[in-house]
């Protein structure tokens, strides 16, 4: 099977531009129809500025706002991700860019910061997060010490750094952050053409955020060539998976009402088929779609800054025999792999693509994912629970080696002595095996309450054709009354785990680059008080306990004596004897009057 | 008179309150009694006392002048009556003590109620032209306050508040203002009229209405009222009122008239007699209290359906927004529904009978494959799960098919479950329900607004399928249940669709009871009722109450049905299995023959899913503990809990009393015999009473021997061992009834009845024979055994009441005789008499033994014992039902102890 995958194509595009250019700008859009009427659109914008001009604060393609932040925070390399939804690897195949340009749900940020020691690195990190928070209108300022980790093996710098630099890697995630248009607008503003021209003109918030899955990334890295020439590269990308049916609905009538009776596609071969009975027929033909239909607008010409790039801006991955209608004037180049064709845009003419409905004969083959991972919380109750992580190696021949990295909030207290592994072969038999059989190395940094979360990095190896399940138990901490968020009963987000497949592990396209997979984020229900009535409850229970305890205790410990005994006992004491004398004396002096009631 | 034996101080000193209440004068008592009687009368619904007697300005004419006098006696609820009683008693008592009973009667039936009423009517009707009815004793309260204020004003004209001087006569006005601010529906005008008349009275303008003293004295003398009426306040006494002539020495001498002295000394003597009568305090009082607790508990439950004690339901969680969206599920979706239905029907018909027999359900691989292919074609992720349960020798196996609509922009953090079981809770084929769920799956998939994943589950039956699925979803499944290959996030809510017939339906029946009496959040139920009724125009029912006319009887019946289901704790439908995992779920069952079709049900479910989809947090706002009496009325835990708690408390009271009695009370004297005997026993408890009486008598005997009633040591070893041992012994029947093959259940039941009859007697015999203790120790130990047994019972039941109110209430009621049975002492009754009493008591108790009650209930409902016990064992094995534990480890040991106590009497 010699199919050049989508990923390798993307990489090819990225690295060809990298090699050929310094101080230039390049943008591309790759469209690939996916099964179940989905369409993957990968936008990529890359620009380089020379390190010298960057140091002199002379910004050409590099956005000034971001450049100033990076300089201020001593940040050498920056990666920022905004992601929503989940990648359906079962239907859609491997991830775009091998997962290197996506984050976990919400916002993920990691950076290499140049600082003398850990404290100053952390201070710079906070500066960076706060500044980016303002720049991208995201709650990045909530990345504090409890959400910051220092991964050991999961991330490697992608740029070239001088050995003299004292670099610190810091990583933070906000799994609960909702990514929306307020993040897209500043993102587009960083582009040289600002979304007015070039492929970026397709990026409309309404369509973008109606996608099934969507990821925005910003990567800044210094790159030096062999000759010693250094550039600062900013690489922005937007990857979205659109539902073609949904995107084609007109904006003024977006409700998926039941179709009129005459438009139903029925299986007329069924014996019971009639006017009012319809067994729906699965359509085998591929749906028609066009750029303006799906994105609501067409590309308004190429960005004038992308001069000199020859290898097409818009690429489409459909079989060559598929009919594609492009706007007149665009140059179409069909690649030899049989599935890719690229179009080069004219600078001023709008560009549109239309793909008519056609019976599907061949499909663009999708690679099998190298590893499937699933992480869920099991158990129930307010006190404790368990984490279950399933790694499935679909390959029948190769074991897969990877780094598993997870950060847990401090209020989730894992017990790693309960870490257990089971392995299930293709025969479906579950066997309990020692976890050390799969775990080659462990890096574990326990949590400190209210200061930092748990950090766990495991180097794992899953044998061929088997599924490994790791489980461990955890305990849920009880938060202080004021530490609960307003929606405490929703549960607390636990950041997705990051899996880094080492390049040697094989699979995928770019053998020299790692593959990243992220699990879905989790919702952890914590014990929550009834916020509306703590005082009522406290007062009521205290009263009841005081009353019940008091009276029962009294009953149980008091010694019951008769009145005679009591008076006899009282008569014994000196005080009462004196008292008795006094009373007698008083009575004699006053003369005892009639005793009144 | 013998010396008072023990004078045990009580934990509180009631003598003051008691003596105050006992000293209340006659007219005050009568007024209080009348108020209480009218309040009780108001509880019935046939005749409206309020309508009859309250002061309605428009209604006043010659024929209805009685209203001018009756209105102060009438109140609109317990609290109104109670508060007014509290306020009125001291004032009226004082008034009567000052003025004498006859004057009080004359004034309060005359000017003091008619004048305020007249003034009120004049102003209300002729000045304000309104017609607000008033009633309640507060008019007298304010009137008396007014007159008191004038008196205070005369002696002490001003309050000084800093530089300001506030005349004291204004104080009732402040009180009146405060009352009208804080109390709803308080009539300001009525109170003002009363205060005004009170002022007039205090200033002496109404003296003309006071009957002349001469006349009064004459009446008093002629009728000898002082001698005949108890608590009568004579005309002569009024001069010694608090503000009348100051008591001088002569007055003091006069005061010590034989008559009044006699009265007070009699009262004192009564109190002293009570205090010096430990027999009453320790033997009779606990029985009275226990009995009162039981009666109050039952009456409390019966009060719940009234409007005053129940509440209208409401949506507490704002995010739900029920029925705020348009439901589009209609049109061509119905054609698809029919297509799916025909397709499934065809497969079901094609099935060979042999396949059918071997599976005992519809769910053959062909059906499963078809369902999976339909779901896959709709674009859902599909997976299956096999499970197998074995209970009572019956194997339940099946395959769950389920599919997930992944929320378009979601992250698998939250999900909603829709369940359509092939067999409904009533074991009918749910073809329409399954087809509807399949159609909805395709329809929902097209929407992009879902914030939560939607999971469609198709279990083969309603009993075990969902349980296997939900257990595996939380990775808590037993060995024979497969884990789930496909999962989503935390489940936020569940809906079960049933539609087992082909015709159209009229209303929706909502099932909500979970396993072990757990209930879903009331918001979910309310949302379903509100969407079905408010948006779709479909009526809803609950607890199989098809013709609910909202009357008291119907409400009570609904509550009781709900309590029976809750008490048994079995799963009423496929939704019940979700409850233990804190997932709120309900079943929607179409019922009746009307004009609603499956699309209306589909739209209701669409609306419900949209509401659940809106949730930002897990359902937590509304009640989890409630009793529903109508689709829109409920009682919350705060209101109904006292009922079961009182019943559980009766055992605790008795246990504590017995504990005290065993430690301190041995000696007594003959005086106590004169005291009234316990009225606790009703006709069916005759035996209990008789045993109690004799038990009480026996306790007095040792006084002859012991010269002093010293503290004796309690022999705890035997009672503790026995009670703990019996509770552990309960594990044996628990094990047997959950683990033997189902065909032996009837035999086991009859065997357990036989063993129950023999075991207590054998126990009693062996204990009596085996122990060489004195009779006095035996009697103490029997009391201690009872004390421990009841203590454990009371503790268990009161704890259980907070978790499963109904079960605690039912077991509590069935155990009530145990509070009153006791060992018949050999020294009081002759042997034949004892034997007869004990055997009669044993027979009666055996009727209330757990297996006999089970048999009786089965006979009454008309089901097979084997079926019930098989179901119970299934519940224990699969659902995690705890009812049996309560029966065998709480109820049964207490019952055996009670029987053994009676059995002691035989030897």
B138 belongs to the catalytic site? yes
Q: Does residue B683 have a pLDDT over 50? A: no
Task: Give the residue from A149, A117, A97, A50 showing the smallest Cα distance to A410.
Answer: A149
Alpha carbon separation from A32 to A208, A322, A352 (Å, rounded): 16, 13, 15
Domains of chain B: which residue ranges?
Answer: 15-276, 318-357+364-631, 662-904
Q: In whole angstroms, what is the distance from residue B295 CA to residue B292 CA?
A: 5
Alpha-carbon separation of residue B375 from A31, A85, B573 (angstroms):
28, 22, 24
Minimal C-alpha gap between B832 and chain A (Å): 38
- Tell me which residue has tokens 């109750």: A381
Percent with pLDDT over 90 in chain B: 42
Report the relative pairing of strands B539-542 and A522-524 from DSSP bridges: unpaired
Q: How far apart are CA A200 and CA A191, in angstroms?
A: 8
* Residue B671, number of CB atoms within 10 A of its CB: 15
Q: Residue A512 has what pLDDT?
A: 67
The confidence score (pLDDT) of residue B231 equals: 78
Q: Is B306 left (phi over 0), alpha (psi -120 to 50) or beta?
A: beta
Question: Which residues on B lie below 8 Å from A279 (Cβ)?
Answer: 336, 339-340, 342-343
The CA-based angle A357-A362-A368, given to 5 degrees, is 120
In this structure, the strands spanning B490-497 and B414-419 are parallel
Catalytic residue chosen out of the listed positions B54, B75, B99, B138:
B138
- CB-based contact A279 B336, cutoff 8 Å: yes
User: In this predicted structure, what is the pLDDT of residue B795?
Assistant: 94
> Which residue from A173, A238, A237, A177 is spatially nearest to A205, judged by alpha carbons?
A238
On whether the CB atoms of residues B36 and B81 are closer than 8 A, the answer is yes
Report the gap between the CA of A329 and the closest CA in chain B (Å): 37
**What is the C-alpha to C-alpha distance for residues A47 and A25, in angstroms, rounded to an integer?**
4
Per-window interface: A 523-542 vs B, CB < 8 A: 523, 525, 528
Which residues, in sequence order, are CB contacts of B53 under 8 Å at separation 6+? B38, B66, B67, B70, B71, B73, B74, B135
| Cα B493 from chain centroid (whole Å) | 28
Q: Which two tokens stand for residue B777?
A: 């120790």
Model confidence pLDDT, tens digit, residues A524-533: 989 888 776 6
Q: What gap in Å lies between CA A168 and CA A170, rounded to an integer?
A: 6
Restricting to A residues 211-250, those with a Cβ less than 8 Å away from any Cβ of B are 211-214, 243, 245-246
How confident is the model at residue B314, as a pLDDT?
92
- Helix H or strand E segment including B674: none
Taking only the tens place, the pLDDT of each residue in A133-168 is: 999 999 999 999 999 999 998 998 888 888 777 899
pTM score above 0.80:
no
**What's the rounded Cα separation, in Å, for the pair B462 and B575?**
8
Are B701 and B871 in contact by the 8 Å Cβ rule? The answer is no
DSSP lists the bridge partners of residue B510 as: B542, B588
Two tokens, residue B671: 């005086």
Chain A contact probe: residue of B345, B413, B623, B636 with most A CBs at under 10 A: B413
Residue numbers in A near B660 (CB within 8 A): 555
Q: Please report, rounded to a whole number, the percentage of residues in chain A having pLDDT higher than 90.
A: 32
Please calculate the CA angle B81-B84-B86 and round it to the nearest 5 degrees: 110
Token pair listed for A102? 């996506």
Nearest C-alpha in A relative to B340: A279
Pairwise CB contact (< 8 Å): A386 & B660: no
> Which residues does chain A have within 8 Å of residue B409's beta carbon, measured at their own beta carbons?
84-85, 209, 211-214
pLDDT (tens digit per residue) in B173-209: 888 888 888 777 778 888 888 888 888 888 888 878 8
Identify the weakest region by mean pLDDT among A370-384, B136-150, B675-689, B812-826. B675-689
A463's tokens: 């044998």
By percentage, how much of chain A surpasses pLDDT 70?
91
**pLDDT, tens digit, 9 for 90 and up, residues B441-481:** 999 998 888 999 999 999 998 989 999 999 999 988 898 99
The C-alpha atoms of residue B799 and residue A537 are separated, in whole angstroms, by: 17
Record the tokens describing residue A32, joined without a space.
């690939």
CA distance B172 to B193: 12
Query: Residues of A numbered 435-464 whose beta carbons fall under 8 angstroms of chain B's beta carbons: which are they?
Result: none
Closest chain B residue by Cα to residue A378: B474
* Contact list, B340 vs chain A (CB under 8 Å): 279
Cβ-Cβ contacts under 8 Å, A525 against chain B: 490, 618
Confidence of residue A595 (pLDDT cuts 50, 70, 90): very low
User: Tens digits of per-residue pLDDT, A173-224?
Assistant: 999 888 888 999 999 999 988 888 888 888 888 888 888 899 999 999 998 8
Indicate whether B669 pLDDT > 70.
no
Residue B806 pLDDT more than 90? yes
CA distance B528 to B575: 14
Contact of A389 with A498, CB cutoff 8 Å: no
Whether B23 and B268 have beta carbons less than 8 Å apart is answered as no
Q: Rounded distance, CA A495 to CA B413, Å?
A: 11
Per-residue model confidence (pLDDT) at position B269 = 65
| % of chain B exceeding 70 in pLDDT | 86
Q: Do A113 and A122 contact (CB within 8 A), yes or no?
A: no
Average pLDDT over residues B652-665: 83
E strand or H helix that includes residue B457: strand B453-458
Q: Is A198 helix (H, G, I), strand (E, B) or coil?
A: coil
Q: What is the spatial distance between Cα B512 and Cα B160, in angstroms, rounded to a whole number?
A: 63
Sort strands B414-419 and B453-458 into parallel, antiparallel or unpaired: parallel
Mind listing the pLDDT tens digit for each residue in B472-516?
A: 999 888 989 988 988 888 999 999 999 999 999 999 999 999 999
Task: State the pLDDT at residue B352.
Answer: 61
Does the pLDDT at position B55 exceed 90?
A: no
State the average pLDDT over residues B725-744: 92
Q: Which whole-number Å values give the CA distances from A537 to A152, A291, B176, B322, B638, in the listed order?
A: 48, 61, 32, 31, 12
Report how far residue B243's alpha carbon sits from residue B221's, in angstroms, rounded to the nearest whole number: 26
User: Strands, E, within B154-195: which ranges?
Assistant: 158-161, 164-167
CA–CA separation, B715 and B780 (whole Å): 8
Of B10, B13, B29, B9, nearest to B21 by C-alpha is B29
- CATH 2.60.40.740 domain locations along chain A: 372-524
**DSSP, res B391:** E
CB-defined contacts A:B, below 8 A? 163
Q: Clarify whether B509 is annotated catalytic.
A: no
- C-alpha span between B627 and B636 (Å, rounded): 7
Residue of A nearest to B444 (CA): A256
C-alpha A161: how far from its chain's center?
Answer: 28
Kindly write down the DSSP assignment for every residue of B333-369, as one continuous string.
HHHHHHHHHHHHHHHHHHS-HHHHHHHSSS--HHHHH
Question: What is the band of A597 on the pLDDT scale with cuts at 50, 70, 90?
Answer: very low
Of residues B75, B99, B191, B575, which has the active-site annotation? B191
Nearest to B570 by CA among B518, B520, B515: B515
- Cβ B31 vs Cβ B239: under 8 Å: no
Task: Check pLDDT > 90 for residue B68.
Answer: no
Strand partners, A458: A404, A442
pLDDT of residue B342: 92
Question: Residues B747-756: pLDDT tens digits?
Answer: 999 999 999 9
B847, B858 Cβ separation under 8 angstroms: no
> What is the structure's pLDDT at B566?
93
Give the C-alpha separation, A172 to A517, whole Å: 17
pLDDT at B332 over 70: yes
pLDDT bracket for residue A565 (50, 70, 90): confident
Question: Could you tell me which chain A residue has the CA closest to the CA of B336?
Answer: A278
CA distance B249 to B227: 26
- CB contacts of B443 in chain A (<8 Å) are 258
A312: alpha, beta or left? (left if phi > 0; alpha if psi -120 to 50): left
Please answer yes or no on whether A523 and B333 come within 8 Å at the CB atom. Answer: no
A475 touches chain B (CB under 8 A): no
* Predicted pLDDT of residue A3: 38
Beta strands (DSSP E) in A225-298 are 230-243, 285-286, 289-290
Does the pLDDT value for residue A427 go beyond 90?
A: no
Residues with Cβ < 8 Å from B171, sequence gap 6 or more? B145, B149, B152
Of B247 and B550, the structure prediction assigns the larger pLDDT to: B550
Q: For residues A217-235, give the mean pLDDT.
A: 88
Architecture of the domain defined by B15-276: Up-down Bundle (1.20)
**In what side-by-side order are the strands of the sheet with A148-149?**
A148-149, A167-174, A106-114, A75-84, A213-224, A230-243, A38-50, A25-34, A314-317, A340-344, A331-334
Burial code (b: 16+ CB inside 10 Å, e: under 16) for B127-149 equals eeeeeebbbbbbbbbbbbbbbbb
Q: Cα(A69)–Cα(A81) distance, rounded to whole angstroms? A: 17
Query: A95-125: per-residue pLDDT in tens?
Result: 888 888 988 889 999 999 999 999 999 999 9
Tell the CATH superfamily of the B318-357+364-631 domain: Zn peptidases (3.40.630.10)
Confidence of residue B255 (pLDDT cuts 50, 70, 90): very low
The CATH number of A372-524, from 2.60.40.740, 1.10.3720.10, 3.40.718.10, 3.40.30.10, is 2.60.40.740
- Residues B809 and B801: beta-carbon distance below 8 Å: yes
- pLDDT for B688 equals 41
């Amino acid at each position: 099977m010699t199919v050049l995958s989508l990923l390798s194509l993307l990489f090819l595009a990225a690295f060809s531009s990298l090699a050929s250019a310094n101080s230039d700008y390049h943008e591309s859009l790759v469209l690939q129809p996916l099964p179940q009427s989905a369409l993957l659109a990968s936008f990529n914008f890359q620009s380089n500025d020379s390190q010298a001009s960057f140091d002199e604060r002379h910004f050409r393609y590099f956005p000034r706002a971001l450049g100033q932040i990076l300089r201020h925070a001593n940040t050498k390399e920056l990666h920022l991700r905004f992601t929503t939804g989940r990648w359906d690897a079962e239907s859609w195949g491997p991830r775009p860019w091998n997962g290197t340009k996506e984050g976990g749900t919400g916002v993920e940020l990691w950076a290499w910061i140049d600082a003398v020691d850990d404290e100053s690195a952390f201070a710079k990190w906070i500066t960076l997060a706060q500044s980016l928070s303002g720049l991208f209108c995201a709650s990045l300022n909530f990345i504090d010490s409890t959400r910051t980790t220092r991964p050991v093996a999961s991330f490697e710098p992608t740029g070239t750094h001088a050995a003299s630099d004292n670099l610190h890697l810091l990583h933070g995630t906000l799994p609960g952050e909702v990514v929306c248009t307020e993040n897209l607008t500043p993102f587009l503003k960083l582009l040289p053409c600002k979304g007015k021209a070039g492929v970026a003109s397709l990026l409309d918030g309404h369509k973008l955020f109606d996608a099934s899955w969507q990821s925005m990334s910003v990567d800044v890295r210094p790159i030096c060539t062999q000759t010693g020439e250094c550039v600062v590269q900013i690489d922005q990308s937007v990857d979205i998976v659109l539902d073609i049916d949904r995107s084609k609905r007109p904006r003024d009538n977006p409700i998926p009402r039941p179709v009129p009776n005459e438009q139903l596609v029925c299986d007329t071969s069924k014996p019971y088929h009639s006017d009012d009975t319809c067994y729906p027929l699965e359509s085998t033909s591929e749906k028609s779609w066009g750029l303006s239909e799906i994105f609501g607008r067409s590309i308004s010409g190429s960005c004038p800054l992308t001069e000199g790039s020859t290898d097409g801006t818009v690429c489409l991955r459909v079989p060559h025999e598929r009919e594609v209608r492009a706007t007149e004037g665009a140059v179409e180049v069909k690649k030899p792999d049989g599935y890719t064709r690229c179009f080069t845009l004219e600078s001023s003419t709008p560009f549109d693509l239309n793909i008519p409905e056609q019976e599907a004969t061949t499909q663009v083959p999708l690679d099998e994912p190298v590893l499937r991972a699933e992480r869920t919380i099991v158990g129930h109750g307010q006190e404790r629970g368990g984490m279950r992580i399933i790694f499935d190696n679909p390959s029948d021949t190769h074991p897969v080696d990877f780094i598993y990295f997870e950060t847990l909030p401090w209020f989730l207290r894992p017990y790693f002595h309960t870490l257990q592994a089971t392995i299930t072969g293709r025969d479906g038999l579950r066997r309990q095996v020692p976890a050390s059989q799969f775990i080659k190395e462990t890096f574990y940094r326990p949590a400190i309450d209210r200061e930092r979360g748990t950090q766990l990095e495991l180097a794992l190896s899953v044998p061929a054709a088997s599924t490994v399940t790791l489980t461990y138990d955890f305990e849920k901490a009880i938060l202080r009354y004021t530490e609960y968020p307003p929606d405490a009963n929703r549960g607390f987000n636990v950041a997705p785990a990051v899996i880094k497949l080492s390049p040697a592990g094989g699979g995928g396209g770019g053998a020299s680059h790692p593959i990243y997979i992220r699990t879905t984020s989790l919702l952890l229900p914590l014990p929550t008080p009834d916020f509306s009535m703590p005082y009522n409850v406290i007062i009521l229970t205290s009263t009841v306990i005081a009353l019940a305890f008091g009276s029962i205790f009294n009953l149980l410990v008091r010694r019951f004596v008769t009145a005679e005994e009591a008076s006899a006992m009282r008569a014994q004491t000196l005080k009462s004897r004196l008292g008795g004398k006094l009373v007698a004396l008083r009575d004699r002096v006053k003369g005892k009057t009639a005793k009144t009631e | 008179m013998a010396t008072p034996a023990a004078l045990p101080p009580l934990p509180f000193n009631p003598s003051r309150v008691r003596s105050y209440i006992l000293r209340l004068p006659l007219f005050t008592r009568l007024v209080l009694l009348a108020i209480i009687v009218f309040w009780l009368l108001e509880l019935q619904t046939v005749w409206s006392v309020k309508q009859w007697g309250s002061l309605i300005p428009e209604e006043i004419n010659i024929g209805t002048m009685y209203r001018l006098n009756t209105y102060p006696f009438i109140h609109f609820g317990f609290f109104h009556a109670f508060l007014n009683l509290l306020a009125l008693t001291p004032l009226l008592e004082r008034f009567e003590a000052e003025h004498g009973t006859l004057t009080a009667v004359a004034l309060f039936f005359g000017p003091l109620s008619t004048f305020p009423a007249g003034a009120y009517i004049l102003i209300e009707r002729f000045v304000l032209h309104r017609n607000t009815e008033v009633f309640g004793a507060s008019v007298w309260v304010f009137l008396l306050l007014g007159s008191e204020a004038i008196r205070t004003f005369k002696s002490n004209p001003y309050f000084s508040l800093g530089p300001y001087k506030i005349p004291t006569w204004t104080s009732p006005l402040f009180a009146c203002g405060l009352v009208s601010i804080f109390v709803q529906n308080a009539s300001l005008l009525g109170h003002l009229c009363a205060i005004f008349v009170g002022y007039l009275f205090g200033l002496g303008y109404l003296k003309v209405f006071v009957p002349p003293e001469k006349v009064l004295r004459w009446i008093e003398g002629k009728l000898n009222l002082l001698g005949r009426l108890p608590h009568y306040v004579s005309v002569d006494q009024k001069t010694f009122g608090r503000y009348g002539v100051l008591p001088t020495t002569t007055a003091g001498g006069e005061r010590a008239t034989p008559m009044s002295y006699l009265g007070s000394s009699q009262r004192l003597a009564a109190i002293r007699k009570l205090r010096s009568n430990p027999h009453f305090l320790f033997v009779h009082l606990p029985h009275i209290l226990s009995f009162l607790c039981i009666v109050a508990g039952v009456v409390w439950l019966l009060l719940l359906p009234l409007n005053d004690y129940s509440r209208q339901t409401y949506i507490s969680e704002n995010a739900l927004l029920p029925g705020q969206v348009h439901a589009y599920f209609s049109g061509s979706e119905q054609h698809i529904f029919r297509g799916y239905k025909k397709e499934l029907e065809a497969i079901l018909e094609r099935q060979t009978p042999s396949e059918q027999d071997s599976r005992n359900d519809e769910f053959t691989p062909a059906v499963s494959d078809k369902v999976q292919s339909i779901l896959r074609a709709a674009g859902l992720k599909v997976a299956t799960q096999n499970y197998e349960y074995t209970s009572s020798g019956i194997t339940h196996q099946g395959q769950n098919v389920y599919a997930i609509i992944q929320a378009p922009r979601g992250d698998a953090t939250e999900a909603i479950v829709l369940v359509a079981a092939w067999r409904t809770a009533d074991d009918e084929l749910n073809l329409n329900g399954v087809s509807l769920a399949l159609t909805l799956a395709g329809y929902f998939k097209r929407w992009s607004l879902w914030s939560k994943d939607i999971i469609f589950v198709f279990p083969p039956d309603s009993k075990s399928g969902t349980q296997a699925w939900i257990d595996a979803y939380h990775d808590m499944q037993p060995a024979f249940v497969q884990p789930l290959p496909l999962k989503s996030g935390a489940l936020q809510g569940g809906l079960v669709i049933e539609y087992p017939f082909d015709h159209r339906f009229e209303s929706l029946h909502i099932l909500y009871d979970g396993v072990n009496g757990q209930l879903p959040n009331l918001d979910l139920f309310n949302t379903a009722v509100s969407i079905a009724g408010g948006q779709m125009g479909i009526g809803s029912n609950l607890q199989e109450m098809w013709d609910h006319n909202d009357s008291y009887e119907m409400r009570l019946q609904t509550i009781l049905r709900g309590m029976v289901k809750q008490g048994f704790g079995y799963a009423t439908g496929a939704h019940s299995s979700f409850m233990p995992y804190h997932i709120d779920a309900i079943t929607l069952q179409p019922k009746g023959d009307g004009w609603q079709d499956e699309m209306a049900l589909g739209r209701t479910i669409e609306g419900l899913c949209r509401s659940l989809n809106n949730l930002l947090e897990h359902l937590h706002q509304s009640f989890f503990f409630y009793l529903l009496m109508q689709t829109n009325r409920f009682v919350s835990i705060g209101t109904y809990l006292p009922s079961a708690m009182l019943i559980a408390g009766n055992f605790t009271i008795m246990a504590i009393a017995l504990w005290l009695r065993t430690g301190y009370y041995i000696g007594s004297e003959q005086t106590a015999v004169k005291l009234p005997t316990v009225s606790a026993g009703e006709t069916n408890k005759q035996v209990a009473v008789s045993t109690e009486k004799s038990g009480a008598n026996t306790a007095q005997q040792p006084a002859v021997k012991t010269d002093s009633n010293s503290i004796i040591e309690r022999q705890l070893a035997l009672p503790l061992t026995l009670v703990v041992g019996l509770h552990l012994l309960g594990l044996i029947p628990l094990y047997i009834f959950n683990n033997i093959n189902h065909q032996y259940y009837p035999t086991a039941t009859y065997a357990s009845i036989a063993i129950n009859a023999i075991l207590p007697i054998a126990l009693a015999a062996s204990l009596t024979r085996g122990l060489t203790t004195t009779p006095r120790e035996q009697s103490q130990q029997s009391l201690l055994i009872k004390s421990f047994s009841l203590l454990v019972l009371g503790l268990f039941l009161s704890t259980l009441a907070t978790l499963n109110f109904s079960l605690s209430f039912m077991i509590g009621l069935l155990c009530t005789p145990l509070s009153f049975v006791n060992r018949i002492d050999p020294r009081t009754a002759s042997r034949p008499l004892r034997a007869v009493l004990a055997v009669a008591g044993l027979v009666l108790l055996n009727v209330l033994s757990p297996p006999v009650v089970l048999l009786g209930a089965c006979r009454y409902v008309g089901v097979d014992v084997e079926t019930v016990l098989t179901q119970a064992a299934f519940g224990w094995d699969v659902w995690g039902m705890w009812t049996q534990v309560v029966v065998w480890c709480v109820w049964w040991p207490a019952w055996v102890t009670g029987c053994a106590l009676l059995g002691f009497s035989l030897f």
